[in-house]
Structure 1
């Protein structure tokens, strides 16, 4: 009581403390709130196979959801727009050390040509769900390269056969002209 009466009796010190609360504490509290509690970072999402794959072979896809804040996030897998719940797993949400988080979700599947596989992410920083499709162009490119290679092989074989036929025909005509000239 004695100390409280002493400090309450110093009106000039109480005024100084009120000014400090207004200029320092509330200002820093607003900055703290903006940089932590009100902070929202949208996730960066990438879908890729865990190892090289091909159509018809059992594979695993990984959906990497990184650099998001706050912590709460929902990740799901879609096949042709329908949510998949079997053969799905994920890591726990991991802290990055810069006040952002990451999560990795996995889907085991056997890819089929023309099938659309997506990773859907719901997060408070997004106005609507974010869906990222698995880009199968590398699988399609592999088959396209093989088809182009086969086509060029047959073109080369056709040209070689035509050249050989031309050579043998020319040789037989030369041989007949030698026989005609010598008779």
Structure 2
């Protein structure tokens, strides 16, 4: 297997849940583009949003609004408003740092935590300025990494005045992971559901007498999936290509994997699909008839399983806690 294939298999074996905070700051706001915005995700679901125009943190899914009261949203709003000021100062500081007086500039910050079913956790922090890496937190060495001279100046100040690597441990254990667990419980019917994929194999004439085989897999959730072509039972992943996993628009995902073959060479080709909703891998042979039959698991909120159903610059490190 390729490293990506191995990673996908690992994700299927131990499902990954994540919480992501994305902060964006722009020097020249416009219609539909506030100068400051915060979007918080759990897995692929936006759970709340704050913008400088709204001036209020607002839940997105009903299950977040129903399970967190006014005090929670007041606190999220207070922190976001406090950090608006710090981000504004950071824009000015970075402009001076890089000798920029005008024009469009953007700060992007992303951080959060991951939780696997075996209860192992992982966290990360990364920010960028004008689309280039700025600072990154290395969870192995518990140190900041700087991408250029400007970032090195910021890193030295953070190391001397602001940064305490124990903040990361406290944030991960006391804030991020508990919030992630709570959200997973609130939204379990959405976030922990398992929807089986359907698969279809097709072919078309290619160049030089070759044939392109395509395997389209759709309607699955969560998005981690492994789709490979087999020739006479052997994995041919190195010969395939794909455009990745894409949203279907209905809360599920889709993907396709294609491979060129010489039809004059007699062989048995099949599309092999692995997904955590399936009790066993789904195999679809190339031929005139396409039959998609699978046995899968679906999420049951009661706990049973059903079988056979069809900163940048000088900002505090962790904007969700008092540092």
Question: What TM-score, normalized by structure 2, do the two folds share?
Answer: 0.31
For residues 31 and 42 of structure 1, the distance between their equivalents in structure 2, rounded to whole angstroms, comes to 23
For residues 52 and 58 of structure 1, the distance between their equivalents in structure 2, rounded to whole angstroms, comes to 6
For residues 85 and 122 of structure 1, the distance between their equivalents in structure 2, rounded to whole angstroms, comes to 14
> Residues 29-79 of structure 1, C-alpha deviation per residue, up to 9 Å, x if partnerless?
867311x12211111000111x247xx931111100000000100111101
2:232 matches 1:77: no
Alpha-carbon contact 1:47-1:64 (below 8 Å) kept: yes
The 5 Å alignment of 1:30-109 reads: 32-34=187-189, 36-49=190-203, 51-52=204-205, 57-109=209-261
> Residues 127-173 of structure 1, C-alpha deviation per residue, up to 9 Å, x if partnerless?
11111001157xxxxxxxxxxxxxxxxxxxxxxxxxxxxxxxxxxxx
Give structure 1 regions of 4+ aligned residues with deviation exceeding 6 angstroms: none
For residues 85 and 97 of structure 1, the distance between their equivalents in structure 2, rounded to whole angstroms, comes to 27
Query: Which runs of 5 or more residues in structure 1 are unaligned?
Result: 1-23, 138-183
Name whichever structure is richer in strand by fraction: 2
Query: Which runs of 5 or more residues in structure 2 are unaligned?
Result: 1-65, 69-183, 290-323
Secondary structure of 1:71's match? coil
Secondary structure of 2:279's match? coil
Question: What TM-score, normalized by structure 1, do the two folds share?
Answer: 0.53
* Alignment CA distance shift 1:85-1:33 (3 Å): closer
- Quote the RMSD (CA, aligned, Å): 2.6
For residues 136 and 33 of structure 1, the distance between their equivalents in structure 2, rounded to whole angstroms, comes to 40
Alpha-carbon contact 1:87-1:109 (below 8 Å) kept: no
Q: Taking CA–CA contacts closer than 8 Å with sequence separation of 6 or more, which of the two structures ends up with the larger relative contact order? A: 1
Name whichever structure is richer in helix by fraction: 1
Which residue of structure 1 lines up, in the alignment, with residue 67 of structure 2?
A: 25
Secondary structure of 2:278's match? coil
Name the count of aligned residue pairs. 109
Bigger Cα Rg: 1
